[in-house]
């Protein structure tokens, strides 16, 4: 009788472990990011600073994904980390990205979460700062964009 109970408990334990492993494999993934900086350039009227402007350089992020259920999303800053006097007044930020590799990403607003397939995807990221009133003062600007991969 004790052997029968032991075999049943072992079978139940193996079933539970198998179910747990299967559900994790289907719904969990791991994402590793490697990023490179971009460069903002001014628009001719000095109301926009953007990596998409002439002279700007987009940033890149290489996402290596193992598993399923992983998304990438860009979170724009609220203000510049560093800016000349008046540079953080009346501004808003927007982001966009495209991507190639395991996942093809057509031009997308960066705040939209994008599902990534397993493998390596390289995303080109553009950040734009818009001045709603006045122009950007001359000087150096630094912005920190957050890339969320989860």
Within 13 Å and on the Cβ side, how many CA atoms surround 59? Answer: 23
Phi-psi region of 7 (alpha: psi -120 to 50; beta: other; left: phi over 0): alpha
pLDDT over 90 at 148, yes or no:
yes
Query: Can you give the pLDDT at residue 122?
Result: 98
Residue 99 lies in a domain: yes
Q: Which helix (H) or strand (E) holds 114?
A: strand 114-116
> Could you give the CA distance from residue 20 to residue 13 in angstroms, rounded to a whole number?
11
Which residues are bridge partners to 60 per DSSP?
36, 124
Residue 20 lies in a domain: no
What is the tens place of the pLDDT at every residue in 47-86?
999 999 999 999 999 999 999 899 999 999 999 999 999 9
Alpha-carbon torsion 108, 110, 111, 114, what sign?
positive
Residue 18 lies in a domain: no
Query: Can you give the pLDDT at residue 16?
Result: 35
What is the tens place of the pLDDT at every residue in 124-140?
999 999 999 999 999 99
Residue 10 lies in a domain: no
> Could you give the CA distance from residue 97 to residue 17 in angstroms, rounded to a whole number?
40
Residue 55 lies in a domain: yes
Which residues are bridge partners to 25 per DSSP?
none
41: CATH: 2.60.40
Residue 16 lies in a domain: no
Structural domain for 123, as ranges: 30-149
Residue 109 lies in a domain: yes
3-state secondary structure of 118: coil
Query: Can you give the pLDDT at residue 8?
Result: 43
What is the tens place of the pLDDT at every residue in 75-98?
999 999 999 999 999 999 999 999
Residue 122 lies in a domain: yes
Q: Over pLDDT 90: what percentage of the chain?
A: 77
Q: Over pLDDT 70: what percentage of the chain?
A: 82
- At 28, is the pLDDT very low, low, confident or very high (cuts 50, 70, 90)? confident
Total structural domains in the chain?
1
């Amino acid at each position: 009788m004790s052997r029968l109970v032991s075999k049943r408990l072992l079978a139940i334990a193996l079933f539970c472990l198998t179910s747990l492993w299967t559900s994790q494999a289907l719904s969990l993934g791991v994402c590793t990011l490697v990023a490179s900086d971009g460069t903002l350039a001014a628009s001719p009227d000095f109301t926009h600073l953007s990596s998409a402007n002439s002279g700007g350089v987009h940033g890149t992020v290489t996402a290596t994904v193992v598993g399923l259920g992983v998304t990438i999303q860009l979170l724009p800053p609220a203000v510049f980390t560093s800016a000349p006097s008046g540079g953080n007044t009346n501004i808003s930020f927007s982001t966009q990205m495209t991507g190639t590799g395991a996942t093809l990403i057509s031009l997308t607003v960066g705040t939209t979460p994008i599902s990534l397939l397993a493998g390596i995807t390289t995303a080109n990221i553009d950040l734009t700062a818009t001045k709603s009133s006045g122009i950007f003062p001359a000087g150096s600007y630094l912005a920190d964009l957050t890339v969320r991969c989860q």
